[in-house]
């Protein structure tokens, strides 16, 4: 029976070559696009590379600040450094907590303009996300506290800056006014990553802490995201409750502001301020 089907197909294919080609091409392209879309969605949702355990990580990446006495304006912003250090990172329900942020970094190399990422992190960052080190090590908590001029770079940045040189530990990467000593090299981050960028990583303490300004949103805003790593997703409700309880403690410490906690569609953190 199979031979008869094949004979019939071959006769039709020879008689209508263009039709057969277009049909097979259309079917093949459809299958290819469906597979690519499915694989991309799977990588984004489940995570890959350093985010291979993304299902166990809860990220707070922004908050909403709303004023009542100034026209009811709403401002979306990232989390502030002081609140992250003194309050959010002390939440006990998560196994590990990291504060970090990242943006694009433009620089010139050998007369050409390039764009890579840079990420400003704490030491816990390397425990929350699962990086594979090709060379060296991450910076430690003590080095972050001391504001050490250290850097971890991705493999593609190593090739761009140092060519075929393999052992780049101890080399200097110039990021703006910082001369950073390379202490580690990690594999590149997949383009489907939701929270991470390929490029250079260095301690957030290299930047001076901002002075609070009670006349604006700055006491509660900043540039940081938070990643809460749990053993499993069953811990997420408790982490959210503890996060909101922390915000209530911040509210109680400042009689001039009223903070109301909620959960936005973007983040575990939503702050509403009556100024």
pLDDT in tens, 116-167: 999 999 999 999 999 999 999 999 999 999 999 999 999 999 999 999 888 9
Q: Which of 192, 262, 239, 209 has the alpha carbon at shortest distance from 80?
A: 209
pLDDT value at 258 more than 70: no
Angle at 159 (CA atoms; ends 41, 98), nearest 5 degrees: 50
Average pLDDT of the residues of the chain: 77
Q: What is the pLDDT of residues 46-100, one digit of tens each?
A: 444 799 888 899 988 777 666 555 555 566 677 889 889 999 999 999 999 999 9
Tokens of 223: 């540039």
> Given this model, what pLDDT does residue 43 score?
41
């Amino acid at each position: 029976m199979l031979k008869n089907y094949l004979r019939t197909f071959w006769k039709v294919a020879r008689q209508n070559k263009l039709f057969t080609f277009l049909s097979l091409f259309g079917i093949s392209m459809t299958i290819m696009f469906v597979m690519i879309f499915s694989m991309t969605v799977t990588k984004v949702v489940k995570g890959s590379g350093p985010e291979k355990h993304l299902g166990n990580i809860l990220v707070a990446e922004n908050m909403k600040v709303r004023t009542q006495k100034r026209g009811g304006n709403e401002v979306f912003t990232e989390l502030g450094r002081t609140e992250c250090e003194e309050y959010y990172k002390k939440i006990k329900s998560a196994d590990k907590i990291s504060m970090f942020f990242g943006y694009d970094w433009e620089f010139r190399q050998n007369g050409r303009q390039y764009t890579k990422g840079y990420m400003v992190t704490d030491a816990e960052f390397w425990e929350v996300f699962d990086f594979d080190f090709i060379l060296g090590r991450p910076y430690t908590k003590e080095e972050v506290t001391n504001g050490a001029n250290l850097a971890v770079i991705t493999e593609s940045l190593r090739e761009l800056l140092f060519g075929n040189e393999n052992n780049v530990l101890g080399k200097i990467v110039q990021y703006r006014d910082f001369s950073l000593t390379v202490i580690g090299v990690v594999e590149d981050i997949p383009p489907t990553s939701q929270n991470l960028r390929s490029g250079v990583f260095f301690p957030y303490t290299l930047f001076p802490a901002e002075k609070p300004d009670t006349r604006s949103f700055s006491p509660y805003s900043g540039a940081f995201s938070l990643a809460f790593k749990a053993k499993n997703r069953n811990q997420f409700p408790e982490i959210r409750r503890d996060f909101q309880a922390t915000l209530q403690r911040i509210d109680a410490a400042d009689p001039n502001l009223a903070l109301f906690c909620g959960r936005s569609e973007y983040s575990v953190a939503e702050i509403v301020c009556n100024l």
